[in-house]
Amino acid sequence: MCVACEMNLEQMESFAQRMMQIINEGSLGLMISLGHRTGLFECMKTMEWATSVEIAKVANLNERYVREWLGAMAVGRIVTVDNTGKLFNLPKEHVPFLTREGGNNIAVYAQYLSVMGGVEDRLVQCFETGEGIAYEAYDRFHEVMAEDSEQTVLSSLVEDIIPLVPNGLEKLEEGISVLDVGCGSGKALLMLAEHFPNSNFEGLDLCGPPIKSAQEIAMQKELKNAIFEQTDLTNFEFERKYDLIMAFDAIHDQARPDLVLKSIHGALETNGIFLMQDIDASENVCNNLDLPLGSMLYAASCMHCMPVSLGQNGMGLGAMWGVERAGRMLTEAGFTSVKEHRLEHDVQNCYFVAHK
């Protein structure tokens, strides 16, 4: 303790070190994103100890850039370097978390750092004005979201997520009508449409590019039971009814989640079910202090989820609206029984099953 300045010097020293560590790890996150996008991790997975020249050749990339990237990877202990500083290796224990092998590629999520960083200038203005940001301003958002969805949703959709809906698999086999609200690139619906040809699937989303990509894939795969339409759901009146409505990570982003939940309730058949995947956090920040991905989730909320809702003149609930508030809003929208489920593969989300 410094008596003169009344500050705990040990605490100061340890915080200074932590700040350095934050800058280091943040920078490493950006480099991991680059490694993912350039295919360097996938490439190194197939190689034994190799030089930057060999790695660059196999990856078909510029050696100078690859060498500098390898430096960051080695210092960050992502890859191992030998005593000469010339040979590099990706340890097999790291491979499942940096490549497609194993379906738990955490490098996919590192891409959000630069997606969000890309709007920093606008965010600085937003902090002053309170305005929001249009979805289109986020370069590559839908592309990264689709990759994210492949891992978080697709990997467990048929085995774990749909079975949360009472008799969900049986109903889909028999043939029901299903709507995905804020479907993005439609990965979940496309998968279900392939698996369950007797059921009909409809995906709606505000943004044109992901809807176009979903439509193209449906056409390529000749899926007659999947349609996708660009639609602003803010004040949308559904013309038809559905047996099952789903929303994956898409309600808190909406301009008016309250209105969307009400119209979802209205669009369900009498015994219809709403399956909502949304962030598993509390509306009280004190309860989120030990969340495994707490800082990342608040950052994503502040830099994307909240501004895109405000950008549509919306409520700006943000990703951290909390399961308590989500439950209340579902009840206010008219849903009767609302159950919360947690799945082992997904530490980030809560799965709500709401009955009409």
Ligand X SMILES: C[S@@+](CC[C@H](N)C(=O)[O-])C[C@H]1O[C@@H](n2cnc3c(N)ncnc32)[C@H](O)[C@@H]1O
Residues lying near ligand X in the complex (CB under 6 A)? 135, 145-146, 149, 153, 182-184, 205-207, 210, 231-234, 248-250, 253-255, 312
Cβ contacts of 154 within 8 Å, gap of 6 or more: 187, 188, 191
Strand residue runs (E) in the chain? 80-81, 88-89, 177-181, 200-205, 226-230, 242-248, 268-279, 338-341, 349-355
**200: β partners:** 177
- For residue 194, the minimal CB distance to ligand X (Å) is 17
- For residue 317, the minimal CB distance to ligand X (Å) is 11
- For residue 153, the minimal CB distance to ligand X (Å) is 6
99/151 with CB nearer ligand X: 151
132/210 with CB nearer ligand X: 210
Nearest to 248 by CA among 294, 285, 282, 205: 205
297 vs 299: CA distance, rounded Å: 5
- For residue 250, the minimal CB distance to ligand X (Å) is 4
316 vs 304: CA distance, rounded Å: 10
250/273 with CB nearer ligand X: 250
56/267 with CB nearer ligand X: 267
70/255 with CB nearer ligand X: 255
What is residue 45's three-state secondary structure?
helix
211 vs 207: CA distance, rounded Å: 7
* 353: phi then psi, degrees, rounded to nearest 5: -115, 110
- For residue 236, the minimal CB distance to ligand X (Å) is 7
- For residue 55, the minimal CB distance to ligand X (Å) is 32
135/274 with CB nearer ligand X: 135
206's tokens: 């505000």
